[in-house]
Amino acid sequence: MKINDVILKTVSQAGVLIILTFGVYLFLSGHNQPGGGFIGGLVLATAFVLMFLTFDSETVNKAIPFDFKKISALGVLLAFSSSALPMFFGQPFMSQTFGYFDLPIFGKTELATVTLFESGVALTVIGVVVNIITSISEDE
Amino acid sequence: MNNIILLPVLIPVMVGILLIFLRSYGRTQAWFSIFTMAATAGISYYLLEKVQSDGIQRLDFGGWAPPFGISFVADSFSLLLVLTASIVTFVCLMYALFSTNKLLQTMYYYPSVLFLIAGVNGSFLTGDLFNLFVCFEVMLLSSYVLLTLGGAKRQLREAIKYVVINIVSSWFFLVALAYLYGAVGTLNMAHLSVRVAEAGQGPLLTTISIVFMIVFSLKAGLLLYFWLPGSYSTPPVVTSALFGALLTKVGIYALFRVFSLIFNQQPEITHAIIGVMAGLTLIGGSIGAIAYNDIRKIAAYNVVIAVGFILVGLAISTPNAIEGAIYYLIHDMVVKALLFLLVGTVIALTGTAQLHQMSGLMKNYPLLGWSFFITMLSLAGVPPLSGFIGKVLVSEGAIESGAYILLALSLLSSLFVLYSLLRIFKNSFWGETIVGKEDQVPLNSRFLVPCLVLVLLTFGIGLGTEGLSAYVTDAAETLLNPDIYVDAVLEGARP
Amino acid sequence: METIIIFLVGILTAVAIYLLLSKSLIRVILGTAILSHAVHLLILAMGGLKEGTVPLLGEEAESYVDALPQALILTAIVISFAVTAFILVLAYRAYQELGTDDLDEMRGVNDE
């Protein structure tokens, strides 16, 4: 089914960008404030779902040539391996650490290993949500 | 702190994820999973030995000491079950290697099995009641997938019932967790044990414990087994063998753990209810086992009988009975897998599950027939096979504590097990051979090898009871003296 | 406040059970979704409501609310999300294969 809704297309082109930005913001702010990988991932996934709604799935698949099943698997892999990493340093599973670094543009920045875990969670959520939506809506 | 405890969960998960990327390579996936399960079995054996020498092992996630963080706790009881589950899965996967078709293999069959075993092992090892819920859900989600893979009409229909029932029982689990948290303010099992003992198990806590009992009974198939025969008899052979061997055992493990460690103050209420439910399960399972002509249904009802029998051990709760129940639990995991594999092989060879449409298979496939015969004897509890020692010890416990009704029911149920399986044996293996030597479907020896491995295992457990007894005694001692567990987790610094 | 929430939990559970008992599969699925929301609220109420501020760094309040129930709920939400998604797909497949969403008509037939 081809949809050709000019208003929807125009609005969602801008909307997707805003949603993506908001998702990344939520993801990053999750360290000390409300937010985090799960919520960020959900918001990011809604952007993809909006794209799938506005344009047909062939167009979107051409623009984003990823297999979302593999993305969620990658997310779980990232989350688990970042949790397992401390085991090689004699620390318990899921231990975290953080440090302050002087980065060129950002200045003094706190970098924490938990962000790796969180990005795994976010990837998983994105993959799973998009997967579910597409698998229900795929065949008419 | 001992990170190795986590490996029986972590390795299957990691390999499962890797296999998702290897989707189109069916055989490779199978070999990877088999190797993984062998490694897991090896690690759990190592841990079992370590627990014997160094006492209960513990891992605090992220270094958060209990009761604040989530812990994995490995005692002999958990590890015996992890070890058996890993070995059984290993053998079932060997069977799957040649029996599952190409389509199934590329539909994430092996990742699902590995996630299932990760959930099962996690449930055995966790020391936190909420984490137990999470592991249950991991296991259940994988079991939903395994149940529906293939997508036959009958499978889908049974899967819907199974999923809805499990959602409702998970809901009960959460309700019980919420009330328990509201009542005592902790979810760490060892800490719960301390808090419940301090507060005294009043009517409120006993009620909460009964909600837990309902949840675990649904999972274990204790009295609430109405969903079990349908869903265990529809999926492919290996899946139903795994389900029959592992899934109900997790519910049984949870019942043992929760009612020996946490809610152990009022056995006259809780254990009495378990006893009544176990008795009714034995009756219901026995009736079911002789009522059907579908051999898969008969096998599924045999699972129900075993659940009743093992929980008779918990209801009595004398040292002998608990030891017997543990022996029987291990035996049952092995032999139920064997039974389902044999039944599946028979169905694959004859093309029917109806008793009356097969006959005289003994002439065609003698080895298969004798394997079935041994399985039957083992399930009925004939020495020197593995079922014997469990039955003797549970019966001894029942006599010591004067539970004569349960004793009678459990012994009678053995007769029903024997009768129901003898019916299969007499109808399908004995009798006139209806398929000539020329027309018979050749039995691939690669199907038979896993079955023979399990047959050897049931002989091994039966003859090697002496070697097993040290572990089982230790497991029973920990179950009967919750203080050992609590001290190991909270390390004397009781909050 | 807790009392009101508990009443709400009761109402939600009643609604969910009514839906669960209906014949249409999609209603059953909606029932399971509402059922899980009811228990999430119950866990929240069990942790105690309205005591102190959010458990975040830098709030500098005298007392904080118990963070554990929220963590439990988040986990439970994720799980119920996954299960609901799965059963939706399953129901859709079953509807395609069996040609009905009526649970009565889905009952087992012996001759299969």
CB-based contact, A18 to chain C, within 8 Å: no
C92 min Cα distance to partner chain A (Å):
8
HSE, CB side, 13 Å, CA atoms: give it for residue B481: 9
Query: Residue B213, class by beta-carbon neighbours within 10 Å (0-12 exposed, 13-18 middle, 19+ buried)?
Result: buried
CB pair distance less than 8 Å for B181 and C68: yes
DSSP β-ladder status, A98-103 and B71-74: unpaired
Q: Do A34 and C78 touch (CB under 8 A)?
A: no
In a domain, C110, yes or no: no
Write out pLDDT tens, residues B353-368.
888 888 888 888 888 9
Inter-helix orientation angle B319-350/B76-99, to 10°: 0
Q: At what angle do helices B153-184 and B203-220 cross, to 10 degrees?
A: 160
In this complex, the residue of B3, B14, B17 whose CB is nearest that of residue A93 is B3
pLDDT tens digits for B220-232? 999 999 989 888 8
Say what the pTM is.
Answer: 0.94
Q: What is the pLDDT of residue A119?
A: 92
Average pLDDT along chain B: 91
Mutate to test the interface with C, among B133, B160, B180 (most CBs of C within 10 A): B160
Strand partners, B73: B58
In this prediction, residue B136 carries a pLDDT of 95
In the predicted model, what is the mean pLDDT of residues A73-79? 93
B120/C contact by beta carbon, under 8 A: no
pLDDT the model gives residue C96: 84
Give the pLDDT confidence of C18-43 residue by residue, as tens digits.
999 998 999 999 999 999 999 999 99
The list of chain B residues with pLDDT below 50 reads: 495
Chains with at least 3 CB pairs less than 8 angstroms from chain B: A, C
Q: Do A81 and B14 touch (CB under 8 A)?
A: yes
In a mutational test of the C interface, the residue from B138, B156, B191 whose CB has the highest number of chain C CBs within 10 Å is B156
Interface of C with A (CB under 8 A): 54, 56-58, 74, 78, 82, 85, 88-89, 92
Closest residue by Cα to residue B162 from C24, C109, B154: B154
State the Cα–Cα distance between residues B335 and B422, nearest whole angstrom.
16
The residue type at B107: M
Residue C106 in any domain: the answer is no
Q: How many CB atoms lie within 10 A of CB A22?
A: 15
Overall residue count recorded for chain A in this entry: 140
Residue A134, burial from CB neighbour count under 10 angstroms (0-12, 13-18, 19+)? middle
Residue C112 confidence (pLDDT): 46
CA-based angle A87:A92:A95, to the nearest 5? 95
CB-closest option in B14, B21, B61 to A92 = B61
Whether A101 contacts chain B with CB within 8 A:
no
Secondary structure letter of residue B432 according to DSSP:
-
pLDDT in the model for residue B69? 85
In this structure, is residue C25 part of a structural domain?
A: yes
Q: Which of residues 70-129 of A touch C (CB under 8 A)?
A: 128
The dihedrals phi and psi of B386, each to the nearest 5 degrees, come to -70, -20
CB B381 within 8 A of CB B309: no
Residues of chain A contacting residue B20, judged by C-beta atoms under 8 Å apart: 69-70, 73
Q: Give dist(CA B327, CA B22) in Å, integer.
A: 39
Give the pLDDT mean for A40-59.
87
Is A69 in Cβ contact with B20 (below 8 Å)?
yes
Of C56, C85, C92, the CB nearest to A32: C56
Distance CA A127, CA A119 (A): 12
CA dihedral sign of residues B408, B414, B415, B419: positive
Distances (CA, A) of B273 to A29, B206, B341, B480: 51, 12, 34, 19
Give burial (CB, 10 Å; 0-12/13-18/19+) of C95: middle
Helix B445-463 vs helix B76-99: crossing angle, to nearest 10: 160
Instruction: Tell me the shortest Cα–Cα distance from B4 to chain A, in angstroms.
Output: 9
Question: What's the pLDDT score for residue B492?
Answer: 54
pLDDT at residue B299, as a whole number = 93
pLDDT of residue C70: 86
* B10, B18, B59 ranked by CB distance to A92: nearest: B59
- Chains with ≥3 CB–CB distances under 8 Å to A: B, C
pLDDT beyond 80 at A3: no
Residue type present at position C20: L
Provide, rounded to the nearest whole percent, the portion of chain A with pLDDT above 90: 29
Regarding predicted confidence, which is higher, A105 or A46? A46
Q: Is B145 on the interface with C (CB under 8 A)?
A: yes
Q: What residues make up the domain containing C38? A: 2-98
Return the pLDDT at C68: 87
Instruction: State the chains in contact with C (3 or more Cβ–Cβ pairs under 8 Å).
Output: A, B
**Cα distance between residue B31 and residue B454, in whole Å:** 19
Query: Would you call A32 and C57 a contact, using CB atoms and an 8 Å cutoff?
Result: yes
- The mean pLDDT value for C1-8 works out to 90
CB contact under 8 A, C89 and A136: yes
Contact B178 C94 (CB under 8 A): no
Provide the residue ranges of all domains of chain B, joining segments of one domain with +.
3-489
CB contact under 8 A, B156 and C98: yes
The total number of structural domains in chain C stands at 1
* CA proximity to B136, closest of B158, B147, B115, B120: B120
Chain A residue numbers with beta carbons less than 8 Å from the beta carbon of C89 are 132, 135-136
Residue A53: which pLDDT band, with cuts at 50, 70 and 90?
confident
Give the separation between CA B232 and CA C27, rounded to whole angstroms.
26
On whether any CB of chain C is under 8 Å from the CB of A135, the answer is yes
Nearest to A52 by CA among A82, A8, A22, A83: A8
Q: Is C107 domain-assigned?
A: no
Which chain B residue's Cα is nearest to C32?
B167
Å from A89 to nearest chain B CA? 11
